[in-house]
A and B are shown apart, each in its own frame.
Chain A
Amino acid sequence: MQLTQRAKPVDRSPMTWLESIYLWNIAKGMAITLRHMFMKKATIQYPEQQRSFSKVFRGLHVLNRDEAGRENCTACGLCAVACPAEAITMEAAERQSGEEHLYREEKYAAKYEINMLRCIFCGLCEEACPKDAIYLSQTFAPANYARKGFIYSKEELLIPNPVTEREAYQKALGDRKPQHSTTHTN
């Protein structure tokens, strides 16, 4: 039974003289090879060159800070409850007087952990976040020899401080524009 129109019957006719000396077919094959040498390469020189990611690429998580360098996260737990892989855990603490420059609200995440072995990079945490505190950046989770290296703590996830480490912050930001922490109405 013919399933598609593209099926071709196998040609079992005996070879002609030109085919039987093979030279002609070898030349045909080499011409294809030669043509590919001048075509655009499919590969890149990886560490020096890097591919640009799509704007919506979902890579490694970043915990965000506001313009004053205060952590946005209030440990509301919405990312953890949205996470289908249950990769996020956190523990909250209360901001003490004198810590106002560190945390934006009276409650903050003292511990924040993402298990990158569990994470499926779906981005639901970013969507659930009411404080623009977590987003998925355009970098991979780097390879590691040990599994324990994939348990990312808050220190590893936090974006560099925009006040004290300006260049590192801009680099971490990539082509993502800093969202100003104005109250957004829904």
Chain B
Amino acid sequence: MSSDTKNTIPTVKVTIDNITIEVPAGTTILNAARQIGGDVTPPAMCYYSKLEGSGGKCRTCLVEVAAGSAADPRPMPKLVASCRTGVMDGMVVKNITSDKVKDARAGVVEFLLLNHPLDCPVCDQAGECHLQDLGYEHGKEGTRYEFERRTFEKEDIGPYIQLHMTRCILCYRCTYVADQLTDQRVHGVLDRGDHAEISTHISKAIDNNFSGNMIDVCPVGALTDKTFRFKNRVWFTKPVLAHRDCPDCCGKVTLWQRGDEVLRVTARKDEWGEVCSYDGKPGWICNTCRFDKKAASDWVIEGPVNVNRHSVISQGHYSALQTPKETLPEVMGGRAPKLMMDIHDVSEVNKIELSQLPGAATGSDFNSPAPKEA
């Protein structure tokens, strides 16, 4: 079917894992696969549809092209990066149906993890980390690497963003954010090859109002929110959709709450882990929303986030925000049930408001006599 009735972009037919789909010419294989969705979609660590020029670096999206096009049905000699390869009419792509792809992807994961410190128990990204997911789904169990892992000197890049260079996989997404969202580029990749590192030029703090979006685009824990640092594990927090009238950004966010405390604010993510779009524009959020609005009263809460049930974050089973009605006093004639022990009187946990701390809690925060209600 040709679409000359509506627009001039011709459509092409492409078959990915035996599923045929019609997409506009010029679409990449990855985006065509995303239109099909599900397992057919190759994983992507560096490609980000909202960032121009991204992709082609991590090689996790490699696919096999079994037939180049209807006009020239020869297969492509090597696996190709699906995020950078456009579809041709009659192209036949194999992703999960190809053993070559599975093997190559396991190799790519092994390479990505070569220098990765695997400090997931400490890392704040654990639970929503794309590299973690990728490693579990496509990787090999062990490592064959026997040498010292690459380490870097710790660098402070400002009060809001924590940089862990050892965790970085050099996907370049954050530098594209710096380039495309902020006016002056203060953040880039220094050095080459094995020494390449993300850094702010001359350790200049990133103070652009949209710099916080680097946290959202980072597929690993290299860039994390300093105001959320070590506050809680992501799977113990309750993600809810919220919005506020923000003069700078769309104001549509996900709040990561514990009780009524807002521990973290992020942009809303779609099923590919990318920032959601509103009216064709990506929903980046400003630093004011992300770092400064840490009270539930700042936000209009819409409802719980629909978390994929395969994610560890879904273990909280947050399906509604209404607390169930307490019926015991009602049936007991208005008398509250007598508790043998109220855990909150005994427990020493949850005595300080973590959300009010500017950064990670320290030992002194816990040792100072917290205002204990009687």
Contact = CB atoms under 8 A, between A and B. Distances in A.
- A and B interact: yes
Given A76-B120, A76-B122, A110-B363, A93 B230 contact: yes
A81 B141 CA distance: 23
Given A90-B349, A93-B230, A107-B122, A151 B312 contact: no
Contacts of A91: 349-350, 354, 361, 366
A94 B142 contact: no
Contact of B361 (A80, A93, A147): A93
27 contacts: A74-B121, A76-B126, A77-B233, A77-B236, A80-B233, A81-B235, A89-B350, A91-B349, A91-B361, A92-B360, A93-B230, A93-B360, A93-B363, A93-B365, A96-B362, A105-B119, A107-B230, A110-B365, A113-B349, A130-B120, A131-B121, A146-B341, A151-B343, A151-B346, A153-B348, A185-B142, A185-B143
Given A94-B229, A94-B360, A186 B348 contact: no
Of listed B120, B341, B350, residue having the most chain A CB within 10 A: B341
B372 to A, nearest CB: 14
Contacts of B341: 146-148
A151 B343 CA distance: 9
Contacts of B354: 91
Nearest to B352: A91
A89 B349 contact: yes
A106 B143 CA distance: 24
A19 interface: no
A119 to B, nearest CB: 13
Interface of A: 74-78, 80-81, 89-94, 96, 99, 105-107, 110-111, 113, 115, 130-131, 146-148, 151, 153, 185-186
Contacts of A78: 121
Nearest to B365: A93
Interface string B126-170: 100000000000000111000000000000000000000000000
A146 B340 CA distance: 9
A76 B121 contact: yes
Nearest to A102: B363
Contact of A186 (B122, B142, B315): B142
B297 interface: no
A130 B122 CA distance: 11
B347 interface: yes
Nearest to A153: B348
Contacts of B235: 77, 81
Nearest to A76: B121
A88 B105 CA distance: 38
Given A91-B349, A99-B363, A81 B230 contact: no
B122 A74 contact: yes
Given A74-B122, A94-B230, A115-B343, A110 B143 contact: no
Nearest to B315: A81
